[in-house]
Amino acid sequence: MKGIILHSFQVDRGFRASKSRNKAIAQASGDYIVLVDGDMVLHHEFIRDHFNNSELGCFVQGSRVLLSKSKTSKVIKQQILNLNFMSSGLQNRKNSVHWNFLSSFFSAKRNYSKGIKTCNFAFFKKDCLNINGFNNNFEGWGREDSEFSLRLMNSGVNRKTLRFNAIQFHLWHKENSRNSLKQNDEIMQKTINEKLSWCDNGINIFL
């Protein structure tokens, strides 16, 4: 049976990742959600790794490999999709090691928000709906992913961090503006201080 591909769209009015993700998740028919960004090249075992590491009561945080500017240019021009530990132009090569045996030893469950990146992130849809998804009040780059994970943990869903599995390669690009970081930090700090597990302006407006 072939899967159905749906395209979720929103007008480009700056960085509004929370709304975009909420719109897409609301349309998803599956029970398990894997988030990736458009500036990633995925290891050929990426989805299988996430499937094998899915676990009730957990969300999964994977890692990424950074590509140099010159390597990124080459990957795009030559449409290179098969990247691995031996590829040139990798800035944090250790993250490109794919080894199930090592992953079983070094992947761990520990609840903390540091290093959260929803470019490589997976969770059960019901857990997302239970906290009302991402907070749409986040506009501009920063903290929407950390705040989302904090509410998941506050609701009783544990963080599972993968090593040596679910690998992705990040294409180099200029960094987004940090102009909204102060106001976004304030939203996240409120979640921390009040131990919030729900946001009022979330995925419910798209359901």
Is residue 146 within 8 Å of residue 59, measured between CB atoms? no
Show me where the domains of the chain are located. Answer: 17-197
User: Measured between alpha carbons, how far is 143 from 183 in angstroms, rounded to an integer?
Assistant: 10
Tokens of residue 102, six digits: 């090592």
Q: How confident is the model at residue 176 (pLDDT cuts 50, 70, 90)?
A: confident
Is residue 95 within 8 Å of residue 84, measured between CB atoms? no
Is residue 91 within 8 Å of residue 144, measured between CB atoms? no
- pLDDT score for 3: 74
Closest Cα to residue 184, out of 151, 149, 135?
A: 135
Summarised one tens digit per residue, pLDDT across range 68-106 is: 999 999 999 999 999 999 999 999 999 999 999 999 999
2 pLDDT more than 90: no
> What global pTM score does this model have?
0.94
The dotted CATH code for 17-197 is 3.90.550.10
